[in-house]
Amino acid sequence: MRFVVTVILIGICAIAWSSTALAVQVTNGGTVLFSDDFEGVAAGLAPVADVGTWVTSAQALVGDDDPPAAYQGSNYLNLGRPGLADAVFTALQTSGEVHAEITVNQPMWPGSSNGAYLTLAEGGTIRIFVLLHADGVWVHNGSGWSKPGLVWTVDEWEKYTIDYVPGAATFDLTFEGTKVAGLSVMAAGNVDRIHLDGGGDSISYFDAVPEPSMVVMGLIGLFSLLVVRPRR
């Protein structure tokens, strides 16, 4: 009986954990530099970060139904052209390793070539420049564009992760679980924000990132409730 109760408690906890999500989140080691899941503000208003600060243009608004369903929760960031949104960290990062993650849903209008810009910057100085181009994911190396072989899908939520040691000449980009290491930065240096741009001729949507391991734990917990039995 004790074994059955234990399994039930594990299953309930795991299922509960599976509903949690990481926000648009930036960390360095164990320190959260920026975090927002867009759930604390009503649709139609400017976003307000849980950690850090948003600096946005008038086109950057919390949305809930125009047109994709949120990747997690109910809300997401709707960045209309030529909208801008800076996720400003709690402090300038000069050491350690900055880890940034976000999901993007990018429509592409007929004749368009540029989707969202994802950049890591220090003020107005861009360090890392990732572009969702019609031809795939492009990265600017300071002198021109490179194509790391990553292909995004129109109208689909997809996860991007950037890992960067401030001052380094390279960074790692992970797209939907595929990691490309050692990409050249646009300009090496310190960083204090993620700069999001809706692109020159499109609208872009950004949302929080559910934690995959928690989802797996939820499924394992549910499975244990259904099939595990005590020994007699």
Q: What is the pLDDT along the chain (232 residues), one digit of tens a residue?
A: 554 444 333 343 433 333 333 458 999 999 999 999 998 899 899 999 999 999 998 888 898 776 677 777 888 988 877 788 999 999 999 999 999 999 888 886 555 667 788 999 999 999 999 998 888 999 999 999 999 999 998 888 899 999 999 999 999 999 999 999 999 999 999 999 999 987 655 568 777 665 544 444 444 454 444 444 555 5
Asked if 25 contacts 87 with a C-beta cutoff of 8 angstroms, the reply is no
Rounded to a whole number of angstroms, the CA Rg of the chain reads 20
Domain positions in the chain are 1-20+211-232, 22-210
φ/ψ (deg, to 5) at 89: -70, 170
The total of other beta-carbon atoms located within 10 Å of residue 221's CB is 21
Measured distance CA(188)–CA(127) in Å, rounded: 6
pLDDT of res. 170: 98
Q: How far apart are CA 142 and CA 127, in angstroms?
A: 9
- Count Cβ atoms within 10 A of the Cβ of residue 17 and give its class: 0-12 exposed, 13-18 middle, 19 or more buried: middle
pLDDT value at residue 133: 87
Q: What is the pTM of this model?
A: 0.79
Quick one: 22-210 is in which CATH superfamily? Exo-inulinase; domain 1 (2.60.120.560)
pLDDT of residue 163: 98
Give me the pLDDT at residue 200, please. Answer: 57
Report the pLDDT value the prediction gives residue 209, as an integer from 0 to 100. 64
- Check residue 1 and give its pLDDT: 55
Q: Which two tokens stand for residue 143?
A: 């002198």
What pLDDT is attached to residue 155? 85
